[in-house]
A and B are shown apart, each in its own frame.
Chain A
Amino acid sequence: DGGITQSPKYLFRKEGQNVTLSCEQNLNHDAMYWYRQDPGQGLRLIYYSQIVNDFQKGDIAEGYSVSREKKESFPLTVTSAQKNPTAFYLCASSQRVSQPQHFGDGTRLSIL
Protein backbone atom coordinates (compact mmCIF):
# COMPACT_ATOMS: atom_id res chain seq x y z
CA ASP A 1 0.00 0.00 0.00
CA GLY A 2 1.22 3.48 -0.81
CA GLY A 3 1.39 5.98 1.96
CA ILE A 4 3.41 8.12 4.31
CA THR A 5 5.34 6.69 7.25
CA GLN A 6 6.37 8.85 10.18
CA SER A 7 8.67 7.60 12.90
CA PRO A 8 8.89 7.40 15.78
CA LYS A 9 5.31 7.73 17.00
CA TYR A 10 6.50 9.18 20.33
CA LEU A 11 9.76 11.05 20.93
CA PHE A 12 11.29 12.61 24.00
CA ARG A 13 13.87 15.38 23.93
CA LYS A 14 16.22 16.54 26.64
CA GLU A 15 16.98 20.21 27.08
CA GLY A 16 19.61 21.44 24.61
CA GLN A 17 19.28 18.40 22.38
CA ASN A 18 18.50 18.24 18.67
CA VAL A 19 16.10 15.53 17.53
CA THR A 20 15.17 14.37 14.04
CA LEU A 21 11.72 13.20 12.96
CA SER A 22 11.53 10.85 10.00
CA CYS A 23 9.05 11.08 7.11
CA GLU A 24 9.07 8.68 4.15
CA GLN A 25 6.54 8.44 1.29
CA ASN A 26 6.14 5.88 -1.50
CA LEU A 27 3.45 7.78 -3.39
CA ASN A 28 5.91 9.29 -5.88
CA HIS A 29 4.76 12.76 -4.82
CA ASP A 30 6.90 15.79 -5.65
CA ALA A 31 5.78 18.00 -2.76
CA MET A 32 6.24 17.31 0.96
CA TYR A 33 5.31 19.31 4.06
CA TRP A 34 5.81 19.52 7.81
CA TYR A 35 3.10 20.89 10.10
CA ARG A 36 2.94 21.50 13.82
CA GLN A 37 -0.33 20.95 15.71
CA ASP A 38 -0.88 22.20 19.26
CA PRO A 39 -3.93 21.28 21.41
CA GLY A 40 -7.00 23.14 20.22
CA GLN A 41 -5.05 24.73 17.39
CA GLY A 42 -5.13 24.20 13.68
CA LEU A 43 -2.16 23.21 11.55
CA ARG A 44 0.81 25.53 11.24
CA LEU A 45 3.20 25.05 8.34
CA ILE A 46 6.87 24.68 9.30
CA TYR A 47 8.59 23.88 5.99
CA TYR A 48 7.63 22.55 2.58
CA SER A 49 9.49 21.21 -0.42
CA GLN A 50 8.31 21.20 -4.03
CA ILE A 51 11.21 19.20 -5.49
CA VAL A 52 14.35 17.39 -4.41
CA ASN A 53 17.12 19.64 -3.04
CA ASP A 54 14.76 22.57 -2.61
CA PHE A 55 12.60 23.68 0.31
CA GLN A 56 10.91 26.84 1.61
CA LYS A 57 10.12 28.18 5.06
CA GLY A 58 6.56 28.10 6.21
CA ASP A 59 4.93 30.25 8.87
CA ILE A 60 6.90 28.98 11.89
CA ALA A 61 10.31 27.80 10.60
CA GLU A 62 12.44 29.26 13.42
CA GLY A 63 14.13 26.53 15.46
CA TYR A 64 13.58 23.86 12.80
CA SER A 65 15.60 22.57 9.84
CA VAL A 66 14.88 20.16 6.98
CA SER A 67 16.59 18.43 4.08
CA ARG A 68 15.28 16.91 0.85
CA GLU A 69 18.06 14.77 -0.59
CA LYS A 70 15.69 12.10 -1.93
CA LYS A 71 12.20 12.37 -3.35
CA GLU A 72 10.83 9.88 -0.81
CA SER A 73 12.30 11.44 2.33
CA PHE A 74 11.83 14.77 4.13
CA PRO A 75 13.28 14.62 7.68
CA LEU A 76 12.64 17.42 10.17
CA THR A 77 15.18 18.39 12.84
CA VAL A 78 13.92 20.17 15.92
CA THR A 79 16.91 22.11 17.18
CA SER A 80 17.72 23.33 20.67
CA ALA A 81 16.82 26.82 19.44
CA GLN A 82 13.14 25.78 19.41
CA LYS A 83 12.17 26.75 22.96
CA ASN A 84 8.69 25.23 22.98
CA PRO A 85 8.94 22.03 20.92
CA THR A 86 6.24 19.98 22.68
CA ALA A 87 3.60 19.34 19.99
CA PHE A 88 2.18 16.86 17.52
CA TYR A 89 4.12 16.94 14.22
CA LEU A 90 2.49 15.92 10.96
CA CYS A 91 4.17 15.18 7.64
CA ALA A 92 2.23 15.31 4.37
CA SER A 93 2.81 14.93 0.66
CA SER A 94 1.01 15.80 -2.57
CA GLN A 95 1.65 15.43 -6.30
CA ARG A 96 2.41 19.12 -6.33
CA VAL A 97 1.74 22.10 -4.11
CA SER A 98 -1.99 22.99 -3.95
CA GLN A 99 -3.09 19.41 -4.70
CA PRO A 100 -4.86 17.36 -1.96
CA GLN A 101 -2.39 16.24 0.68
CA HIS A 102 -1.85 12.77 2.15
CA PHE A 103 -0.82 12.74 5.80
CA GLY A 104 1.22 10.45 8.01
CA ASP A 105 0.02 9.42 11.47
CA GLY A 106 2.20 11.97 13.24
CA THR A 107 4.97 12.09 15.83
CA ARG A 108 4.27 13.36 19.33
CA LEU A 109 7.31 15.16 20.75
CA SER A 110 7.68 15.84 24.46
CA ILE A 111 10.38 17.45 26.59
CA LEU A 112 11.97 15.52 29.45
Chain B
Amino acid sequence: GDSVTQMEGPVTLSEEAFLTINCTYTATGYPSLFWYVQYPGEGLQLLLKATKADDKGSNKGFEATYRKETTSFHLEKGSVQVSDSAVYFCALSDLEDDKIIFGKGTRLHILP
Protein backbone atom coordinates (compact mmCIF):
# COMPACT_ATOMS: atom_id res chain seq x y z
CA GLY B 1 0.00 0.00 0.00
CA ASP B 2 0.90 3.68 -0.09
CA SER B 3 3.37 4.98 2.49
CA VAL B 4 5.38 8.05 3.50
CA THR B 5 8.84 7.96 5.09
CA GLN B 6 10.40 11.00 6.74
CA MET B 7 13.79 11.49 8.31
CA GLU B 8 13.71 10.91 12.04
CA GLY B 9 14.24 13.80 14.37
CA PRO B 10 14.84 15.75 16.29
CA VAL B 11 16.70 18.04 13.94
CA THR B 12 18.59 20.82 15.72
CA LEU B 13 19.96 23.81 13.82
CA SER B 14 21.22 27.29 14.59
CA GLU B 15 19.26 30.33 13.46
CA GLU B 16 19.92 31.28 9.80
CA ALA B 17 21.09 27.75 8.91
CA PHE B 18 19.87 25.92 5.80
CA LEU B 19 17.15 23.32 6.42
CA THR B 20 16.37 20.09 4.61
CA ILE B 21 13.86 17.54 5.88
CA ASN B 22 13.75 14.46 3.68
CA CYS B 23 10.51 12.80 2.62
CA THR B 24 10.07 9.85 0.27
CA TYR B 25 6.89 8.06 -0.70
CA THR B 26 5.54 4.93 -2.31
CA ALA B 27 2.25 5.06 -4.20
CA THR B 28 0.58 3.02 -6.90
CA GLY B 29 -1.20 5.98 -8.47
CA TYR B 30 -0.35 9.65 -8.99
CA PRO B 31 -0.60 11.23 -5.54
CA SER B 32 -0.72 14.82 -4.43
CA LEU B 33 1.93 15.66 -1.83
CA PHE B 34 1.74 17.94 1.21
CA TRP B 35 3.78 19.33 4.07
CA TYR B 36 1.98 20.20 7.30
CA VAL B 37 3.42 22.00 10.34
CA GLN B 38 2.36 21.56 13.99
CA TYR B 39 3.35 24.18 16.55
CA PRO B 40 3.38 23.19 20.25
CA GLY B 41 -0.08 22.52 21.65
CA GLU B 42 -1.83 23.13 18.34
CA GLY B 43 -3.30 21.20 15.44
CA LEU B 44 -1.65 20.77 12.05
CA GLN B 45 -1.60 23.53 9.44
CA LEU B 46 -1.11 22.98 5.72
CA LEU B 47 2.28 24.50 4.84
CA LEU B 48 2.52 23.74 1.11
CA LYS B 49 1.40 21.27 -1.53
CA ALA B 50 2.18 19.95 -5.01
CA THR B 51 -0.24 18.06 -7.20
CA LYS B 52 1.89 16.75 -10.07
CA ALA B 53 5.45 15.88 -10.99
CA ASP B 54 7.93 18.80 -11.07
CA ASP B 55 5.50 21.12 -9.26
CA LYS B 56 7.13 23.27 -6.59
CA GLY B 57 5.10 24.19 -3.53
CA SER B 58 6.21 27.21 -1.50
CA ASN B 59 5.04 29.20 1.53
CA LYS B 60 6.68 31.29 4.28
CA GLY B 61 10.14 30.72 2.77
CA PHE B 62 9.72 26.94 2.68
CA GLU B 63 9.87 25.04 -0.62
CA ALA B 64 9.43 21.45 -1.78
CA THR B 65 9.58 19.98 -5.30
CA TYR B 66 7.61 16.91 -6.39
CA ARG B 67 10.23 14.54 -7.83
CA LYS B 68 8.56 11.57 -9.45
CA GLU B 69 11.82 9.97 -10.59
CA THR B 70 13.14 9.78 -7.01
CA THR B 71 9.66 9.59 -5.34
CA SER B 72 10.67 12.43 -3.05
CA PHE B 73 9.26 15.69 -1.69
CA HIS B 74 12.01 17.16 0.49
CA LEU B 75 11.25 20.31 2.51
CA GLU B 76 13.84 23.12 2.34
CA LYS B 77 14.32 26.61 3.76
CA GLY B 78 17.31 28.82 3.12
CA SER B 79 17.51 30.54 6.52
CA VAL B 80 15.56 29.18 9.50
CA GLN B 81 14.29 31.23 12.44
CA VAL B 82 13.59 30.30 16.05
CA SER B 83 9.88 30.61 15.24
CA ASP B 84 10.19 27.70 12.77
CA SER B 85 10.63 25.29 15.68
CA ALA B 86 7.77 22.80 15.27
CA VAL B 87 6.94 19.29 14.06
CA TYR B 88 6.74 18.87 10.28
CA PHE B 89 4.64 16.15 8.62
CA CYS B 90 4.91 14.96 5.04
CA ALA B 91 1.71 13.49 3.58
CA LEU B 92 0.27 12.12 0.37
CA SER B 93 -3.21 11.71 -0.99
CA ASP B 94 -4.06 9.13 -3.59
CA LEU B 95 -7.36 9.48 -5.40
CA GLU B 96 -7.40 5.74 -6.12
CA ASP B 97 -7.23 4.92 -2.40
CA ASP B 98 -9.27 8.02 -1.52
CA LYS B 99 -7.38 8.84 1.69
CA ILE B 100 -4.47 10.85 3.06
CA ILE B 101 -1.42 9.15 4.56
CA PHE B 102 0.85 11.02 6.98
CA GLY B 103 4.49 10.41 7.79
CA LYS B 104 5.52 10.12 11.45
CA GLY B 105 6.67 13.74 11.70
CA THR B 106 10.07 15.38 12.19
CA ARG B 107 10.65 17.64 15.19
CA LEU B 108 12.74 20.73 14.40
CA HIS B 109 14.56 22.77 17.07
CA ILE B 110 16.11 26.10 16.08
CA LEU B 111 18.65 27.57 18.50
CA PRO B 112 19.08 31.35 18.76
Contact = CB atoms under 8 A, between A and B. Distances in A.
Nearest to A58: B99
B93 A98 contact: yes
B105 A100 contact: no
Chain A's interface size range is 20 to 34
A43 interface: yes
A55 interface: no
Interface stretch (A67-75, A77-85, A102-110): A102-110
B44 interface: yes
A101 B105 contact: no
A90 B41 CA distance: 11
Interface string A23-57: 00000000000000000011101001000000000
Interface in B59-112: 89, 93-95, 97-100, 102-105
A97 interface: yes
Interface of B: 32, 34, 41-46, 49, 89, 93-95, 97-100, 102-105
